Structure 1
Amino acid sequence: MRIKKKTLSPFKILAIGFATVIFTGATLLSLPISSVSGQFTSFLDTIFTATSAVCVTGLVVLDTGLYWSTFGQLVIMILIEIGGLGFMAMSTIFAILVGKKITLKERLVMQEAYNTFNLQGVISHVRYMLLFTFSVQGLAAIILMTQFIPMYGVGKGIYFGIFHAISAFCNAGFDLLGNFTSVTVINTNVVVLMTLAMLINIGGLGYMVWREIFSGITHKKMKNALSLHSKVVITISLILVFGGTLVFLIFEWNNPATMQGMSFPHKLVNSFFSSTTPRTAGFNSISNSEMSPAGKLVTMAFMFIGGSPGSTAGGVKTSTLGILIFTLISVLRGRDETEVFGRHLSQSTVYRAVAVFLMGIVIVVLGVTVLSINEVGATFEQILYEVLSAFGTVGLTQGITPGLTAVSKITLSTIMYLGRVGPLTVMLALAGQKQKVNIKYPEGKLLIG
């Protein structure tokens, strides 16, 4: 009798892989060598920190710059890089170094991990992704060093430049400036803010999009080089970034707690930074808790949307928002199909976008419910802000993270994991093998609206 060998689906491998990296990182961070005090750290706190790092979120219960030793900070930095690139990229690096052949199953996992449309060229895509990542991070680190070395000295300045370049490109939001201040203490340093903002935007746009952009520039055929995916992602991203900049400039212009005392150039730079970082980096140059109500609302909306597929960012993604917007426009125009830039989208694509969006809302609602029960002293706004930040893997907070209860830490860790791996990926992993159904039911009718 032949025993059927059970194989894990790409969805399960991704879900298990990220979980394994998190637990490994948490174990290392719990060791005495990882803390400045030389004492063991609570495993719950290290799980939260490792989850935040691997899921490139930036929410912290312990001050990254003051609590962790250099070893602990290096562990966090490596976890951020693995989380940003994806653990499959690290597996590919190892396989290439030892001359191991990449199997079909591994290629299928990579296809799912990096949101590519087919298996062809998936290894070359990973190679390009690694080269692109290290090149951008290296250049940005050098620029940041020119600012940090005069502040902190040569050794610390170089280290700070590398750490913050990786953190920003991977949309992680971890910083070493201490006292949970993020970059508010240097919010008049245009070079630092613009470098971090550009890194966040580059990392959050998606590797496939940048590859098509460079291909278009090289062959001087940008119109033909960009796929429908890239056109939608770039369009939505530009609207959000520059529209957000204008919104923050207007809403925070006369806010004495944020931008009122700044010159116009600094107001403009901080508005651009505030528009960029909620999708989904987690740095902040002005006080989150003292923003205007409209500024907080826009920030929370941006956290939920996040970056683009196949990037270092989280959230429901710009492409999901784009599909929903174009579907709405098509319905209002009386069309039966979703039309985007002269193309129509399949029903399965639209259904997937709706599913991701609705699952995001469900996760946020459940998270808010749990935290509302456990965080008695926190306001609803603070709790909603915290949950959206976790789901979007952003890392922005209104100051309640360090004092969270154990249940809230576990809840937010789970939400960060779902936000990074992708709620749909996790649900498909739990659902098991997809079965084809050949039954078609009679059409039914429902009243809408």
Structure 2
Amino acid sequence: MLPIARSGPGGASFMEAFFTATSAICVTGLVVVDTPTYWTPFGQAVILALIQIGGFGVMSFATVLGILLARRLGLTARIMSSTETKNPGYGDMRRVLLRILATTLLIETVVAAALALRFFAGYGYGPGQAVWHGVFHAVSAFNNAGFALYTLSIMDFAADPWVNLPIVVAVVLGGLGFPVLYQLRREWRRPRRWSMNTRIVLFATVVLLGAGTVFLCAVEWSNPATLGPMRADEKLMAGFFQSTIARTAGFNSIDISAMHPVSWLGLDLLMLIGGGPAGTAGGLKVTTVAVLGFIAWTEITGGTAVHVLGKRLSRSVQRQAITVVVLALGAVTTATMALMLLHEDIGLDRILFETISAFATVGLSTGITADLSPAAQGVLIALMFLGRLGPITVATAMAARPRKALYELPKERPLIG
């Protein structure tokens, strides 16, 4: 709210500052003011610091918590990505945090250098400006935040692979999660030794990226306001970029507000699924959705136990996945109804897109964020907090809770379906 943070006279209002700070610390990317024009370099630096703290803080918290729970509960294979023993092999917490910090800084530095060189050599930026833009977008991409120093996000670079691909790489690496990155670094030549968590995250990431690209290109191929005017190769790149970003970074290289409502619905699903656990991505996490899929497949095929990649899935994990999904859907539904009551002039498709984007900490928008009332923006603030901290808090509480029951009630089956 300091005047030095805002371009022009005076400082930002409380709601503008609070919404922006929440969006940055929750690495969401939703904005109520234009980042490059409203905020001064000082204000942008504050946003960048919040993004870095939010991404690294949640990442380290989730990973360290995973180590503790793995040792306590013997669920090493589910959370960590080393060997399937009660010793995760990470050493003490200090070493874990240092490894997370080193990984974060290494990836951000490489991506920032690639972007800075492109801005300097390809667009005539001065050295200082090129470095600043490279660093800002590298940090924003790896932490899956989606803040950009351009009014149109990345739309001006939609046909430039030297800008698109570094951002995509940073988003994917941040979304995989630190446990997966750590195991790939140590055992990338020995996939048979990969944990269940690593296999699910990698497989789901590849499938969702491919399916999302095909879906968006198929729906938007002839849309004159999005992919229509582009060459075929540019359309494929833009479709791939947006499919990647939907999980859950928030940049856009095409106009989201001009997309077909069917594309919005597809992006809703991608945003809700999110990325890998113990990373910078939001959403329900691909492992949670995968567990639900395996549960459904077991029921369809008449199995007695849920098996994943040749191993039996713990029943406690199944209950955790179902609980997280039910609570998430309840939060999104409640927020959507609240926004519909506050803004009867906005359609369901746009409001649902906005609430899922906030809860999944994505940051994509159809362009209604700044036009929402303070009460509606307050709902989105609550959703961003809940989406960033809610699922892991619920899952951890369930995992850490003692389950020593002294008796069981008699069974009875209600009619289902």
Fold similarity call, TM over 0.5: yes
Among 382, 385, 388, the residue aligned to 2:350: 382
Shift, 1:434, TM fit: 6.3
Q: Partner letter of residue 241 of structure 1?
A: L
Cα separation, 1, equivalents of 2:184 and 2:279: 15
Which runs of no fewer than 5 residues in structure 2 stay unpaired?
Answer: 71-75, 81-85
Q: 1:46 to 1:435 in 2, by over 3 A?
A: farther
| Change in CA separation of 1:159 and 1:211 when aligned onto 2, cut-off 3 Å | same
Q: In structure 1, what is the equivalent of residue 185 of structure 2?
A: 214
1:56 pairs with 20, 24, 27, which one? 27
Report matched runs for 1:19-418 at 5 Å. Answer: 30-86=1-57, 89=60, 111=68, 116-117=79-80, 120=88, 121=90, 122-149=93-120, 150-178=123-151, 181-217=152-188, 220-224=189-193, 226-418=194-386
Distance 1:269 1:167, change over 3 A: same
The 1:439–1:424 alpha-carbon spacing in structure 2 relative to 1, beyond 3 Å, is farther
**2: CA distance, partners of 1:110 / 1:60:** 35
- The residue that corresponds to 2:73 in the other structure is none
Deviates more, 1:421-430 or 1:109-118: 109-118
Measured in 1, the distance between the counterparts of 2:217 and 2:59 equals 40
Question: Do 2:5 and 2:40's aligned partners in 1 also have CA atoms closer than 8 Å?
Answer: yes
| Secondary structure of 2:256's aligned partner | coil
Structure 1: how far apart are the matches of 2:186 and 2:391? 32
Shift of 1:435: 7.7
CA 1:358–1:108 in structure 2 vs 1: closer, same or farther (change >3 Å)?
closer
Structure 2 CA distance for partners of 1:107 and 1:358, relative to 1, 3 Å: closer
CA distance in 1, matches of 2:372, 2:29: 15
CA distance in 2, matches of 1:109, 1:32: 41
Which amino acid in the other structure matches residue 361 of structure 2?
A: T
Tell me the distance in 2 between the aligned counterparts of 1:108 and 1:196: 28
Q: Structure 1 residue 276: deviation in Å?
A: 0.5
Structure 1 residue 126: Cα displacement = 2.1
Q: Which residue of 2 aligns with 1:100?
A: none
Contact 1:31–1:40 under 8 Å retained in 2: yes
Distance in 1 (alpha carbons) for counterparts of 2:212 and 2:116: 29
Q: In structure 1, what is the Cα distance between the partners aligned to 2:19 and 2:266?
A: 26
Deviations along 1:367-426, one digit per CA (max 9) or x if unpaired, are: 101111112321111111100100110000011111111111111011001111133516
**1:391, 1:415 within 8 Å by CA — same for their partners in 2?**
yes
> Root-mean-square deviation (CA), in Å?
2.4
Change in 2 beyond 3 A, CA 1:69/1:234: same
Amino acid paired to 1:161: G
Partner residue in 2 for 1:93:
none
From the superposition, tell whether residues 72 and 258 of structure 1 become closer, same or farther in structure 2 (CA, over 3 Å).
Answer: same
Q: 1 CA distance for matches of 2:143 and 2:29?
A: 11
Measure the CA separation in 1 of the matches of 2:149 and 2:211: 30
Q: Secondary structure at the match of 2:35?
A: coil
Partners in 2 of 1:236 and 1:109 — Cα distance?
Answer: 21
1:260 Cα shift?
1.4
**1:20 aligns to what?**
none
Percent identity between matched residues is 36
Q: Which residue type is aligned with residue 149 of structure 2?
A: L
Q: How many residues align?
A: 399
Structure 1 runs of 4+ with >6 Å offset: 112-115, 427-430, 432-435
- Cα distance in 1, alignment partners of residues 166 and 347 from structure 2: 34
Cα separation, 1, equivalents of 2:101 and 2:283? 23
Contact 2:216 2:263 in 1 (8 A): yes
Task: Give unmatched runs, 5+ long, in structure 1.
Answer: 1-29, 91-105
* Partner amino acid, structure 1, of 2:382: T
Stretch of structure 1 that moved more, 400-409 or 166-175 = 400-409
Shift in alpha-carbon separation, 1:221–1:426, aligned structure 2, 3 A: closer
Instruction: Give yes or no for contact 1:280–1:307 (8 Å, CA) kept in 2.
Output: yes
Equivalent position amino acid for 1:204 in 2:
G
